[in-house]
Every structure is written in C-alpha cells, then in structure tokens.
Chains A and B, each alone.
Chain A
Amino acid sequence: MARNETAGVAAARGLRVRPGATPRLAPGQAANRRNMRTGLVLVAPALALVGAFALYPLGFGVYISLTNWPLVGPYHFIGLANYESLIHNSVFLQSIVFTLKYTAIVTLPILVVGYALAVLVRSNRPGSTVFRTLIFLPYIVGLVAESFMAVVELQPSSGTANFVLSKLGIVSDTTAWLVHTGLATTAICILVIWYASGLTMMLLMAGMQGIPADLYESARVDGASWWSAERRLTMPLLRRSIALSLIISVVGSLLAFNQFFIMTDGGPGTSTESVVMSIFSTAFAQTDVGLASAMSVVLVIVTGLITFVQFHYLQGDED
C-alpha cells in the first residue's frame, strides 16, 4: 500500500498522472446528466482558486515579461528586450550561479543523511517512532524560525556556534560567520541539511516499508550481507522514492529565499543572493516588474526542466 501511495505523490507532482479514477457510472441517462452537473459544481471552487492564483498569474507573468511594466504607471510592449537584457544582467547571472552552487552542495548530503536516518527509523523496534518524530521536528518548525535563531547563534563572540567551535579549536571565537561569503554559505548549508534531512528520511522510510519482507528473507537465505541486500535490493526498489525526494530537495534549493534573506540579506554585496531574492528585489526594490517577470519565466522553465530530467533519468528503464 505504501508503495502505491508514494507513486501517487509522483502523480501529484504532475509528472505521471495516471488515467482517471475508477469509472463510477450511475444507472440511467437522467441520473448520469445530474451526476455530471453535480460533479462539476463540486470541483468548481478548487478549479476557480487554482485558475485564479496559479494558472492566470503564470500566463499574466509571461505577458508582463514582454513589457516594460513599472510597479505604477503606463507600460508598453518591448518584445524580448527583457530577456535580452538578462543575458547581460550580472547580478541575475551571479544569483543563478550562486543558487546552482548552493543546490549542488546541499543535495547529496541531504539524500545521504536522509537515507541513513531512514535506515535507523524504518524498523519497528521500540523507540523507532519516537526517533522518527524527533528527527522530523526541524522540518516541521520551518526554516524561517530556525534562520532567526541561527542569526543570534552565529554572532561573533556571543553566539553559541563560536563558543562551541572555539572550545574544540576549530574556529576563533571572533569569527563573523554572516559577513563572509564562504562562511555564510557554509553555515546556511549546514542549517539546511539539518533542516531538510528529516523530510527525505520520511519519504525514503515510507518507500522502504513498502518493500515486501520476503525479498529480504530470500536474500538472507542466499547469504547476502546487510550491505549487499541494501545495495542490490533496497536501493533499486527505492528508485521512485529517491527520485521524488531528490526532486523535492532540488526544486526547494532552486527556489530558496528565506534563509538567505534572513541570515545574510544577500550580502556581502550580492554574493549570497539567490535567484528568488534577485527576482524579489528587482520587482519590489527596483520596481522593474517586466524584468522581474522575465526572470520568473526563466525560473519556471528551469525548475520544470530539471524536475522532468531528474524524474525521467531516475525512472528510466523501470517501465
């Protein structure tokens, strides 16, 4: 059951939507017509909200990106000029490079740590459900509150981070984490890995619990070691769950905003500015809504493509 449901999550990402529900025909033509109208009425509010706040803004965004739309005042069409200027926009290009680097740094640790945690909590030994709950708490609390806490604890001389790390002889207790590009990025990456591993743990654990136990039984009879069963049995069967957790973590990283806005505000300079921050400040600080929308369109296309490629690469020959 768990495996089917995980497959459902993939469908929810819109990647492989299975052909509709079980047909449930009502007897009789009149009943059928009434059925149809009732069905439409029931789903109408959901459709209206999704249309108004997701599909319409997407189309509207593409339209705005072809204009020189300021936040207030008249606008006119300028064709692809916004997109052309993006190629020379060093702040935007830098934010893309920075976001890709950040994504590259955190993705593998989140997967590996999450996998190891899933191995720890997937059993039905006493304590495993409690561990599961505790390890998942940082994800539940959310990165916003945790980023505020991290700001306080990363202060030179007064923060807990320097206090502990200087006792261990790793850094000096006057290290100013948040004003150096490299140190700030390091701190944020560690925070994010700590925050996000619990989610990967939950997704992989659900996948692991869906693997039939008799497969392990026969592997053990064949004399397979724990590690080889893990590698030859669990990992291939877990492909779908791994793909899903990778997609969620990569897309999440590409859309990162909170931790950078709160902890460094993109600084020093614009060296830790993520793509979404760049869009945010172009739209609301420079009030160049046309350009910000062009950036958004690029981001939608890139995240969509990466999702698509990852999914197909990891799904590959399964069917």
Chain B
Amino acid sequence: MASVRNPRRSTGSRGGLALYLLAGAAVSAVFVVPLLWEIFRSLQPESTVTTPPSGASFSHLTLANYKTLLSGQDDIIRNLVNSLIVGVLTAALTALVSLLAGYGFGLFRFRGSGLVFGLVLLAFMIPFQAVLTPLFLELHSLHLLNSLIGLALFYTMFNLPVGVYVMRNSFLQVPREIVDAARVDGASVIRTLVSVLRPLVVPGIATAALYAFLFSWTEFLGALSFMTNDSLFTLPVALSNVETGTYGSVNYGLLLAGAVIAMIPCIVVYVALQRYYVRGLISGALKG
C-alpha cells in the first residue's frame, strides 16, 4: 500500500529492535488485554462475575453462561441468525450495487455522471442518526419496519458511498486497452464485466463487502429504532435486553458471554481480510 517507507526507521541496531518490540508489545497489550480479559471473564460462573474478585475467580472456569445464553428462553440464537442474515444480505447488496455503479462511473461517460456521483457521495454527509425519524416513518409506509430486508437495504445505502468510491477507483485503474479489446471482440457490457474485468476488481468487491458486513454486524441505533418485534432483533439489540433484564433478572454473566459472541466474528473476519479493510480505509471513507 505504501510506495515509500521511511528509511530512518528501517535502520537500527539489534538493541534498538528489541526496544522497539518491547514498546510495541506493551502498547498493543493496552488494546488487546482488555478484550482477552473479557473472554476470560465470560467463562466465569455468573456468581463470580458479580462478586468481588478473589483467588478462586481464576480457578473455576465454565461454559455455563454460553450454554444458558444459547439455549432456552433467551433465544439469542434467533438474534444471532438475524444478525447473520442482515450482515450477509448487506454485504452482498452493497457489493453488487457498488460494482454496477463503479462500472458505470468508471468506464462509461454519460451526461450527469458527475452530478450523480456527487449525490452518492453527498449521502455520506447526511448522518443517518439525524434523519432517524423521517426514515422510521418512510420505512413504516413502505412496510419495511420490522423487516430484516428493510434493515439490510438501509445498511446498504449507508455503505454505498464508500463502496461506490472504491469500485469506481478500481475500474478507473483498469488499462484502457483491455476495455477496448473486449469491445472490438464484440463482448457485451455484462460479458466484459464478468469475464474480462472481474479478476481486476475482485479486491474492490471484497473491500466493499467487508465494510458493509462489519458495519451491519455492529450497528445498534438503526436496529433499535426500526425493529420493535423481539424475534427480529439483531444481536446488539437483544444484548441490551439482556443488560436491562427484560428476560427476568439481570445476569451479567450472560451479558459478557453475549458481548463476546458479538465480538468474535468481527475479529475473525477482520484478521482474515484485513488487507482489504486497510485498502478501503485509505481509499474510501468511514462511517462518521
């Protein structure tokens, strides 16, 4: 990603390197140890989580919180599935719509192209947190409240400015000769995209889909506002019910287990695909 490195950092003695590794490890620990600690805590019985810590806190570990959470009355599995459905749908829709729009903006010249592109980017300037009520009324009249598809459409819109921007850049980088050659060969627009351009723009698609999935998986306010039916709640909203004890008494053991369940997919997906994420971070933009 970086074409130029700072040479003054790549030189250095062996002692300097050891010092660097030590400092880096210490700083990294500040950001990672709290997350690891919460995984450990979620493995403690509920009674340990809510009583003052002692030596015994470290000896008795159990999956009880997870077992309770994933079975019986709390029904968190359904929420987990809801989150997955919305996340995958959002990622797929964002990738598809961004791919088509990027193709259009990148390789076709049409009147109003600049204006339309500006409008798509402008959407990024409108914080959805601030148009929550009109959105609520609009989704209501479209029968998209309490609908996983409605939520996914809303999330897709939010991810489009980044996705379209990344995809347009991908298409702009396609060498002109390739497009011309396909045209001379008489390939149709879609055929050119599928068989000639696809390999060149797959990284962009991965970036758009990854952003959309992570956004959808961690989004809270929209899901809280647009879903009023318990059985359609996504995981974060269901956890806020666990927190306030809607399902009976407040159980912090369950809350920790639920938060860890929400956290793990983010980490796995990010670590596996991080080069696409960083690429998008630099070339695209971010959720405000």
Contacts and interface: CB of A to CB of B under 8 A. Distances in A.
B87 interface: no
B282 A9 contact: yes
A17 to B, nearest CB: 5
B9 A35 contact: no
Interface string B200-233: 0000000000000010011011001100000000
B282 to A, nearest CB: 5
A12 B124 contact: yes
Contact of A13 (B27, B100, B125): B125
B119 A47 contact: yes
Contact of B236 (A24, A45, A64, A145): A145
Contact of A123 (B9, B111, B256): B9
A283 B132 contact: yes
Given A35-B110, A38-B189, A57-B134, A209 B1 contact: yes
Nearest to B261: A145
Interface size bucket, B side?
Answer: 35 or more
Interface stretch (A83-91, A101-109, A134-142, A180-188): A134-142
Interface string B43-68: 00000011111000000000000000
A24 B110 CA distance: 10
B127 A300 contact: yes
Contact of B27 (A12, A117, A125, A206): A117
A300 to B, nearest CB: 5
Given A145-B262, A163-B52, A293-B134, A39 B109 contact: yes
Given A35-B109, A151-B255, A255 B129 contact: yes
Interface in A113-143: 117, 120-128, 130-131, 133-138, 140-143
A300 B122 CA distance: 13
Given A40-B110, A43-B116, A143-B218, 8 more contacts: A9-B284, A12-B284, A38-B104, A64-B137, A125-B10, A144-B218, A293-B133, A300-B127
